[in-house]
């Protein structure tokens, strides 16, 4: 979709010339989110600005769908790409609806089409009820809400390509996490091709299908987050990613990749206590999951069942929390630590049991990832 071929950008001339980008080559495939990552001054933002010709190449080429961007009018090129920046850049004298409608108006969309698009985008970025936001001004919104409008404006003309320059960097951690999740939800539906500038390794791991790691104008490694974490190309990459790489892997793996789908320590809620105790003793099970009508209701130990006669659902201790299979392992591990549990039940959207996830499952999954990468 977007191909950089020996892309080079030099600012200035002679002895004072600065090479901001040095013979960089890589391709962003259609529908991918690629995070341009690295320390300040590494060339990531220059790469972004070259893509929509806010800066012009010194040498090399950038093509979109096989067409050299130098052959396209710069203004039309920018109008064909969504652009979201850290400072958001909303027009303070325009309403939220007017801000979102800027590019569609320039492209000559009808009033009805623009109104319909604004409505859909406000719903998409969770600014609901939409009537409460359309006619307000940026200063009347929180920073997180303004950033949502910035994303909506970037998507307004339904571009195939979206350029995002540290779009969530100025937002507090809680709102940043929420808007990242919201953006990933939208991207899962829209499948835009996205170049996303960041200096935050955690954000890159969470948001990117691939990561392009830059340093001093050069592309050092271009790979999936898994490979960047498990097979850093050199010391710079290893240092940038951090010594806690194994923990960072938990941020990209999901419960479904590690869960036990067929736990053996299950007893049905209407099972009498003596029968459940006999089952646990024969199987040498320390504790069992109590499931009633397909839903996990709690857990029991052998001690709980001694001298009891009633159904186990009345004797079990309730679980404080559950996870779903799409939950990141990092979140699952955090919940285990918070609630002092060695195991969590995995449920679907209806609360029905899908399996379990334990410390051992998580540890084994991390080791499998590293062993697989080593073998390759």
DSSP characters over 100-121: HTHHHHHTT--HHHHHHHHHHH
CATH number of the domain residue 85 falls in: 3.40.50.300
Number of domains in the chain: 2
Do 222 and 314 reside in the same domain of the chain? no
Q: List the structure tokens of 212.
A: 């392009």
70 shares its domain with 166: yes
Residues 301 and 236 in one domain: no
Q: Looking at the structure, do residues 232 and 128 belong to the same domain, yes or no? A: yes
* 3-state secondary structure (DSSP) of residue 258: coil
Q: Are residues 89 and 172 in the same domain?
A: yes
Say what the pLDDT of residue 375 is: 52
Residue 373 lies in a domain: no
| 233 and 326 inside one domain | no
Domain-terminating residue out of 194, 222, 246: 246
Q: What dihedral do alpha carbons 25, 183, 333, 372 form, nearest 10°?
A: -30
Contacts of 264-269 with C-beta under 8 Å, sequence gap 24+, read 265/289, 266/291, 266/353, 267/291, 267/300, 267/312, 268/292, 268/312, 269/293, 269/297, 269/311, 269/312, 269/313, 269/316
Domain limits at 337?
256-366
Is residue 372 a part of any domain in this protein? no
Is residue 376 in a domain?
no
Q: Report yes or no on 371 lying in a domain.
A: no
Q: Is residue 155 included in any domain, yes or no?
A: yes
Beta-bridged to residue 7, according to DSSP, are 24
Residues 235 and 359 in one domain: no
User: The domain spanning residue 296 has which CATH number?
Assistant: 3.10.580.10
User: Which pLDDT belongs to residue 364?
Assistant: 86
265 lies in some domain:
yes
Q: Is residue 116 part of a domain?
A: yes
Q: Which two tokens stand for residue 324?
A: 């779903």
11 and 59 assigned to the same domain: yes
Among 228, 246, 264, which residue terminates a domain? 246
**Could you tell me the two tokens for 279?**
């089952």
Same domain, 212 and 276: no
Pair (237, 271) in one structural domain: no
Distance CA 109, CA 111 (A): 7
Query: pLDDT tens digits, the chain, 376 residues: what are they?
Result: 999 999 999 998 888 899 999 999 999 999 999 999 999 889 999 999 999 999 999 999 999 999 999 999 999 999 889 988 876 678 899 999 999 999 899 889 999 999 999 998 998 888 888 888 999 999 998 888 888 888 889 888 889 999 999 888 767 777 788 888 888 888 888 899 999 999 888 889 989 999 999 999 999 999 999 899 888 999 999 999 887 877 788 888 889 999 999 998 999 999 999 999 999 999 898 889 999 999 999 999 999 898 899 999 999 989 899 999 989 898 899 999 999 888 999 999 899 999 999 999 998 888 877 665 545 4
Residue 181 falls inside a structural domain: yes
Where among 222, 246, 270 does a domain terminate?
A: 246
Q: How far apart are CA 138 and CA 209, in angstroms?
A: 32
Q: How far is 369 from 257, CA to CA, in rounded Å?
A: 11
Please tell me whether residues 192 and 328 are part of one structural domain. Answer: no
- 214 and 236, same domain (yes or no): yes
């Amino acid at each position: 979709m977007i191909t950089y071929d020996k892309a080079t950008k030099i600012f200035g001339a002679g002895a004072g010339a600065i090479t901001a980008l040095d013979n960089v080559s890589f391709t962003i495939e259609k529908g991918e989110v690629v995070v341009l990552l690295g320390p300040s001054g590494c060339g990531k933002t220059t790469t972004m600005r070259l893509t929509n010709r806010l800066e012009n190449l010194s040498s090399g080429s950038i093509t979109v769908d096989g067409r050299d961007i130098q052959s396209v009018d710069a203004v039309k090129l920018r109008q064909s790409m969504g652009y979201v920046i850290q400072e958001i850049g909303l027009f303070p004298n325009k309403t939220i609806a007017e801000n979102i409608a800027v590019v569609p108006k320039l492209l000559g969309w009808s009033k009805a089409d623009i109104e319909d698009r604004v409505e859909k985008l406000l719903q998409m970025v969770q600014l609901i009820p939409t009537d409460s936001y359309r006619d307000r001004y940026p200063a009347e919104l929180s920073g997180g809400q303004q950033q949502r409008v910035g994303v909506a404006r970037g998507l307004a003309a339904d571009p195939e390509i979206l350029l995002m320059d540290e779009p969530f960097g100025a937002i507090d951690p809680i709102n940043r996490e929420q808007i990242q999740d919201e953006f990933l939800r939208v991207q899962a539906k829209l499948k835009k091709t996205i170049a996303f500038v960041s200096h935050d390794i955690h954000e890159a791991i969470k948001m990117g299908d691939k990561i392009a790691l830059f340093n001093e104008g050069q592309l050092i490694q271009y790979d999936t987050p898994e490979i960047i974490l498990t097979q850093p190309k050199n010391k710079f990459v290893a240092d940038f990613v951090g010594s806690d790489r194994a923990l960072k892997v938990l941020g990209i793996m999901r419960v479904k990749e590690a869960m036990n789908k067929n736990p053996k320590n299950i007893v049905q809620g209407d099972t009498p206590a003596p029968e459940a105790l006999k089952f646990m003793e024969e199987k040498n099970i320390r504790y069992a999951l109590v499931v009633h009508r397909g839903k996990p209701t709690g857990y029991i130990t052998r001690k709980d069942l001694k001298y009891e006669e009633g159904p186990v659902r009345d004797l079990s201790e309730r679980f404080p929390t559950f996870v779903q299979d799409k939950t990141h392992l990092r979140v699952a591990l955090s919940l285990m630590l918070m609630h002092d549990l060695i195991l969590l039940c995995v449920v679907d959207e209806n609360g029905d049991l899908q399996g379990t996830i334990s410390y051992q499952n998580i540890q084994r999954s991390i080791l499998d990832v590293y062993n697989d990468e080593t073998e390759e």
